[in-house]
């Protein structure tokens, strides 16, 4: 038996589709088998062999102290409550935590591997660091095979976050590439993540997962515009984008771009997945060949 948190989320839906009838789901909405808010309650759980913990708060920029705290309430406290619920019965044999490359706390770099220090200072990245340690310590204490998967941009149908905004912008004609859009970013298909979970659960360890190619924004935008039947995405010179970013810094979060977003869009950030390839045969599909918007 498998327990899955976050089944209604973007990654969770792909996991549920892959594993199907082997799964008991837990979450806040009525579609779950066990309905509970993990950030506030300790759940009553059945005995399971594997836990896949994909629930968490992401895809938002906190603007208040309360919003910042919510990352720790959902991601850290929610995991603490999940663990306490598991301790009421026979403990699972394996535990997989879906983490993020955000734990590294860097906005640029090439082929960053799992030995990179965890330096995130933003609420999301810091909450993921704390949750990783919580899970690893608990698993070590109870002799549970522990797997941490650090994911970059996850690609699939109807994606949330920045990729979803990019698709919407191209669809409506107001998305621009900046300075040639040559910045490379690591990506991975949601379906590839789902397909290896049962394999990696037996092995354990901490792994970056990518498609191994690391497309740039030009390649990705071209693929999206082609699928939408749109003309090639227009390019904006960096100096013009910098002016818009200045206005974004002044106006605030409602403006579509600011200096921080501009730096991220214009800087390459890639991660090394060779450890996963060597440890459990990770052999992903190329995002640019397999990504379908619908």
| Gap between the Cα atoms of 30 and 44, Å rounded | 16
- Regarding the domain delimited by 2-154+188-210, which CATH topology (the fold level of the hierarchy) does it fall under? Rossmann fold (3.40.50)
Each domain of the chain, given as residue ranges in start order, spans: 2-154+188-210
| Gap between the Cα atoms of 17 and 274, Å rounded | 27
Judge whether 52 and 98 are in contact, CB under 8 Å.
yes
Residues whose CB is less than 8 angstroms from the CB of residue 1 and which lie 6 or more positions away in sequence, other chains included: 22, 24, 46, 47, 48, 49, 50
- Per the DSSP assignment, residues forming a β-bridge with 155 are 189
Per-residue pLDDT of the chain (294 residues; tens, 9 = 90+): 999 999 989 999 999 999 976 899 999 888 889 999 999 999 999 999 999 999 988 867 777 888 888 889 999 999 999 999 999 989 999 999 999 999 999 999 999 999 999 999 999 999 999 999 999 999 999 999 999 999 999 999 888 888 888 898 899 888 888 888 899 999 999 999 999 999 999 999 999 999 999 999 999 999 999 999 988 888 888 888 788 777 777 776 666 677 777 777 779 999 999 999 999 999 999 999 999 887
DSSP reduced 3-state for 147: strand
pTM for the structure as a whole: 0.92
- Judged by phi (left if over 0) then psi (alpha if -120 to 50, else beta), residue 243 lies in alpha
């Amino acid at each position: 038996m498998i327990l899955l948190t976050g089944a209604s989320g973007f990654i969770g839906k792909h996991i549920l589709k892959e594993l199907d009838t082997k799964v008991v789901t837990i979450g806040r909405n009525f579609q779950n088998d066990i309905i509970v808010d993990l950030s506030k309650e300790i759940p009553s759980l059945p005995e399971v062999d594997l836990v896949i913990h994909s629930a968490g708060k992401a895809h938002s920029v906190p603007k208040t102290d309360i919003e910042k705290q919510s990352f720790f309430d959902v991601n850290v406290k929610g995991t603490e409550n999940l663990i306490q619920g598991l301790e009421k019965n026979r403990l699972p044999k394996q535990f997989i935590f879906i983490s993020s490359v955000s734990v590294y706390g860097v906005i640029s770099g090439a082929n960053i591997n799992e030995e990179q220090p965890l330096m995130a200072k933003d609420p999301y990245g810091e909450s993921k660091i704390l949750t990783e340690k919580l899970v690893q310590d608990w698993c070590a204490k109870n002799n549970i095979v522990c797997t941490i998967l650090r994911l970059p941009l996850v690609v699939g149908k109807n994606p949330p976050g920045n990729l979803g905004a990019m698709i919407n912008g191209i669809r409506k004609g107001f998305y621009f590439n900046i300075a040639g859009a040559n910045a490379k970013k690591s990506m991975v298909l949601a379906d590839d993540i789902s397909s290896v979970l049962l394999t990696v659960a037996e092995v354990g360890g901490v792994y970056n997962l990518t498609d191994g190619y690391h497309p740039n924004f030009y390649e990705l935008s071209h693929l999206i515009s082609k699928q939408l039947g749109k003309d090639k995405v227009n390019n904006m010179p960096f100096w013009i984008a910098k002016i818009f970013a200045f206005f974004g810094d002044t106006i605030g979060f409602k403006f579509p771009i600011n200096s921080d977003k501009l730096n991220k869009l214009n800087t390459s950030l890639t991660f090394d997945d060779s450890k996963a390839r060597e440890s459990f045969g990770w052999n992903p599909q190329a995002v640019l060949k397999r990504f379908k918007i619908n």
